[in-house]
Amino acid sequence: MISIKDVKEADLFRGLNARQLQRLSKDFAEKSFQAGEVIFCQGEPAQKLYILTEGEVTLGIKAKGEIDITAYSAFKKGEVFGLPSLIKPYQNNVTATCNKKTKVLCIHGETLRKLMIDDSKMGMKIMNKIAETYLNRLNSTRAMITNLFKMFKFQTGKTKIMETYYET
């Protein structure tokens, strides 16, 4: 069994009381991965939620044309990934790859969803944290895209990416 202290350190579970953390901790398992190992793949069913305890994980998107895009890198203890295991349609929208030796705590999404339904106050707190996490990651992605467009304009002198993309 995983200690309450370990679960409490997860961003997603901050603010939960000792009873709620106790209920959660009994369903978590610890898992280790080597550098370069893939934890889950984009497009596959999302089965587990992960809490980073050690290491670094890149959440990447494989776009058309085999272009790999880093959507987010989890490197702080307590960061959570695998959130689609809690949100319909329960399908991974990124691939999680370890950048170095990594340890995580994991719980089956179905198990956590049941606990969240059984304790609706806990469920609401967790869903609020999920929304906050997605909003923060969205804003981070927007900032990266904005910087990319600024670099593009500087390099090409053109203000619209479509003008350059469709040049003949």
Digit-coded pLDDT (tens) for 5-62 = 889 989 899 999 999 999 999 999 999 999 999 999 999 999 999 999 999 999 888 7
Strand partners, 74: 57
Give mean pLDDT, residues 148-164.
Answer: 62
Sequence ranges of the domains in the chain: 4-165
Fill in the DSSP letter of residue 76: S
- The pLDDT assigned to 149 comes to 73
Residues 5, 117, 108, 82: is their CA dihedral positive or negative? Answer: negative
pLDDT at residue 84 greater than cutoff 60: yes
- The pLDDT assigned to 148 comes to 72
- pTM as predicted: 0.82
Question: What are the φ/ψ torsions at residue 129 (nearest 5 degrees)?
Answer: -70, -35
Per-residue pLDDT band at 67 (split at 50, 70, 90): low
Question: For 97-131, how does the pLDDT look when each residue is reduced to its tens digit (9 = 90+)?
Answer: 999 999 999 999 999 999 999 999 999 999 999 99
Looking at per-residue confidence, does 22 or 134 come out higher? 22
Interstrand relation of 80-81 and 102-108 (parallel, antiparallel or unpaired): unpaired
CATH value of 4-165 in 3.30.450.20, 3.40.190.10, 2.60.120.10, 3.20.20.210: 2.60.120.10
- The pLDDT assigned to 143 comes to 80
Residue linked to tokens 């059984």: 118
Looking at per-residue confidence, does 70 or 82 come out higher? 82
Strand partners, 48: 108
129 vs 111: CA distance, rounded Å = 18
- The pLDDT assigned to 21 comes to 95
pLDDT at residue 65 greater than cutoff 60: no
C-alpha torsion 6→11→12→14, nearest 10:
70
